[in-house]
Structure 1
Amino acid sequence: MGYYLSDGIYPEWATFVKSIPMPQGEKRKLFAQHQEGARKDIERAFGVLQSRFAIIRNPARSWHLDSLKRIMDTCIILHNMIVEDERATYGGNFDYSYDHLGNDPIAPSDNSNIDFREFLRRRHHVQDKQIHRHLQQDLIEHIWERFGHENNRN
């Protein structure tokens, strides 16, 4: 299951990692700062891609996940190639290579015939508020362990 950085308008589902409005305590403040910063960075980056590539401006809910991944990977690579090509006009000389990326074909997913009970189980798991709160608490602790010492020095 993937996670989405979101703001307060989304429900408390296990897939949404929301910030904490008016956080109390240093751990919660640090979590809110990191979550909001990361969400804004992603929104900015995705906005750049949307402005350049029309294919990702439109809704894609009915598309296959594999197709979405390939489209996004392609747009990111093309964007990086454009930036690299235009970099000479910026006065810098950088050598970025994409040779380390694998070009192996991706095997198609065979999850299309999941039975209805499994679908309901997964849906319940995604919409479980308790799992959302547990995930948020784990993330608060993780961010505090990684960055809390930096916060204490300031």
Structure 2
Amino acid sequence: MGYYLADDIYPRWPVFLKTISCPIGERRVLFAAKQESARKDVERAFGVLQSRWAIVKGPTRFWYKEVIADVMYACIIMHNIIAEQERGHVTDWVDDEAGSSSSTATSPVTRGLPMGFGAVLQRQASMRNQQDHTQLMTDMIEEVWNRNRRR
């Protein structure tokens, strides 16, 4: 299960990796600084994408992960193309005469529920486990500490 970088307004669920508001100890101070920096970078990036494409604003809880990834990659690529053109660095695009991309262009995007609704309910329950949240926080603090200690 993945997680979101979040601030203190979110509940203590393992899907939210929250900021430590008053960190005590070197490990927690380092973790709080790294987490806050990463969270702000992600918020800025999503803000840019949300201002340009409405599909990024909407809920995606019941979408397939692959569809979410495809939508995000498409928005990021289009953003980068637009940014290049606005800077005056227009890219020369070569049309694909062989038609290799046309076969994928006609395939529909599939949205929908995962295979079993029971799996959705089980995932919902596991998302709210506060003990898992505490364990995730402990594990992530140690991971950040170990990665930065090696440098």
Q: TM-score, normalised by structure 2?
A: 0.74
Aligned residues: 135
Specify whether residues 125 and 75 from structure 1 end up closer, same or farther in structure 2 by C-alpha distance, changes over 3 A only. Answer: same
Contact 1:27 1:148 in 2 (8 A): no
Counterpart of 1:99?
none
Question: Residues 39-94 of structure 1: CA distance to partner in whole angstroms, max 9, x if unpaired?
Answer: 0000001111112223323x2246623433322111001011122333446xxxxx
Which residue identity is paired with 1:60? P
Unaligned runs of 5+ in 2: 90-100
Question: Residues 98-150 of structure 1: CA distance to partner in whole angstroms, max 9, x if unpaired?
Answer: xxxxx888xx78833243xx444333321111111111111101100111466
Counterpart of 1:124?
125
Counterpart of 2:41?
41
Instruction: Give aligned-pair identity as a percent.
Output: 44
CA apart distance, 1:26: 0.5
Unaligned runs of 5+ in 1: 90-102
Whole-Å separation in 2 of the counterparts to 1:134 and 1:18: 13
Whole-Å separation in 2 of the counterparts to 1:64 and 1:149: 39
Which residue identity is paired with 1:17? L
Counterpart of 2:114?
111
Whole-Å separation in 2 of the counterparts to 1:16 and 1:31: 15
Q: TM-score, normalised by structure 1?
A: 0.73
Which residue identity is paired with 1:112? M
Counterpart of 1:78?
78
Contact 2:60 2:68 in 1 (8 A): no
Moved over 6 A (4+): none
Contact 2:17 2:137 in 1 (8 A): yes
Map 1:1-154 onto structure 2 (within 5 A): 1-57=1-57, 59-61=58-60, 64-65=63-64, 66-88=66-88, 111-115=114-118, 118-148=119-149
Contact 1:14 1:128 in 2 (8 A): yes
Specify whether residues 149 and 82 from structure 1 end up closer, same or farther in structure 2 by C-alpha distance, changes over 3 A only. Answer: same
More helix by share: 1
**What is the SS of the residue equivalent to 2:5?**
strand
Specify whether residues 132 and 6 from structure 1 end up closer, same or farther in structure 2 by C-alpha distance, changes over 3 A only. Answer: same
**What is the SS of the residue equivalent to 2:148?**
helix
